[in-house]
Amino acid sequence: MSTANGVRGYVGRTLTIKRDGNKVGAVVSKSVSINNEPIDVTSDDDSGFRTLMDASGTRSIDISVEGVLRTDALIMDAVGNSGLVKATDIEFPWGLVIRGSFRLNGLDITGEKSDKIQFSGTLQSSGAWTINPDQED
């Protein structure tokens, strides 16, 4: 953790994504979206105000990654026979770990003639996930 002028925060590179225990390599940008789809139960009795259930309809986590292509691991996941759904960990620098099965939904590869080969990919949760499964309360 970094503290500058009394402001605490973490460097983005310390957020780690792992598939089958291996860090998704050469990532330069990543985002994690945690979604809890609402269930709208609004009726005429609500006087025109929306009413949402406390429970979620569909819960999901989506991960987007971008980086420099250095290995063929993601390519093999996308086009090979190793399976699109794999155990994935989202490791936050303060110790929080979200673990579950995630499907590689898309992989884009780009290469300009005088630049590096880059990739961007999307992982989507499949099934339930756990939080900090290896840590005791």
**Proportion of the chain above pLDDT 90, given as a percent:** 63
Domain ranges of the chain: 12-40+49-129
* HEC secondary structure over the chain: CEEECCEEECCHHHCEEEECCEECCCEEEEEEEEEECCCECCCHHHCCCCCECCCCCCEEEEEEEEEECCCCHHHHHHHCCCCCEEEEEEECCCCCEEEEEEEEEEEEEEECCCCCEEEEEEEEEEEEEEECCCCCC
Each residue's pLDDT tens digit, 79-88: 877 778 999 9
12-40+49-129 adopts what CATH topology? Answer: Elongation Factor Tu (Ef-tu); domain 3 (2.40.30)
Each residue's pLDDT tens digit, 15-68: 999 999 988 878 999 999 999 999 999 999 999 999 999 999 999 999 999 999
